[in-house]
Amino acid sequence: MSAFELLPRRQGRIEYRSRQDGGVWGVEEWRMTRGGDGLRVLSAHCEMRFGKDWVVRDSTQSAHPDYHPKDAFVRIMRDGEVTGSGWFSFTDDEAICESVTRDEGRISQRFPIRRPIRGFGMHAVQSDAWLAAAFPYEKGAGHVQFFGRNLMHSTHHFGATGPFIATTGSGLEYVGPETIDVAAGRFDCHRIRFVGLTNDHPEYHLWVTRDGDFLYVKGVVEGYIDSVFELTELSGDPL
C-alpha cells in the first residue's frame, strides 16, 4: 500500500491592526491547496471585532488556473448568531447563488457573466489578492484597468451581510513591483490599489506575491478603518 500523500498546500495567518495604536482587531487563518485538475481551493476563517461589529466568517472558494471561480461557500456569524450561509457556482456564462439569511430568508439567484470574470469577492483579504490575479501586470506601473461589475457576497465593508450575489464597480491601478518585509518574511510583490470603488470603501492599497499564487502579504486601508493587514505566518511551498 502506498503512503497517503496530502495535496500541495500553503497556509498562513493575517492580522488586522489599527494604525493608531497597533491593536489587533481581527485575524484571518487561511489554507490553499491545488488538486490534480489544477483547481486552487482557498479556505479562510476570519474573526473581527471592529467598533460595534463582531463578525466571524468562514468561506471557501475554488478557482481555475486562470482564477475564474468555480464554486464558493460562505457562512456568516454576527454577535454570536449565525445570520446566513450560501453556496455559489460559476460557469462560463452564469453565476448561481442558493442561500438562506436571517434578514432576507431563502434566496435563489442566477446572474449572467462572461468568462473570465475578475473573481468572486469573499471579503477574506486573501480573497482580495485573488481579485488581482488576472490584472495585466506586463503593461507596467501606472496602468489602470476598470471592472464594470464585480461579484461579491456582500457590499458591507467587513462582509457581514448576506451572503448573496451583490455587485460593485471598481478598478485596479498597478503601482509597481516592490520587495517588502513583514512578520512572515521578505516577499517580492506587486503593489496595487483599488480605484473607483462604488460602495464608499476607503482608499485601499495591497501587496501580493509575484510567484503565481498571489498571496496577500500586506494591505493598508485608510479612512475610518485606518488599518494595516499583514501576513504574520506562512508555511508550505508555491503551488
pLDDT for position 30: 98
Radius of gyration of the chain (CA): 17
Residue by residue, pLDDT tens for the chain (239 residues) are: 456 788 889 999 999 999 999 999 999 999 999 998 999 999 999 999 999 899 999 999 999 999 999 999 999 999 999 999 999 999 999 999 999 999 999 999 999 998 888 889 999 999 999 999 989 999 999 999 987 678 999 999 999 999 999 988 888 999 999 999 999 999 999 999 999 877 788 999 999 999 999 999 999 999 999 999 999 999 999 99
Q: How far apart are CA 84 and CA 111, in angstroms?
A: 20
Report which of 23, 46, 42, 26 is spatially closest to residue 34, judged by C-alpha positions.
Answer: 42
pLDDT for position 232: 98
pLDDT for position 1: 42
pLDDT for position 146: 87
b/e map 139-150, b = 16+ CB within 10 Å? eeeeeeeebeeb
3-state secondary structure at position 121: strand
Report which of 116, 141, 140 is spatially closest to residue 130, judged by C-alpha positions.
Answer: 116
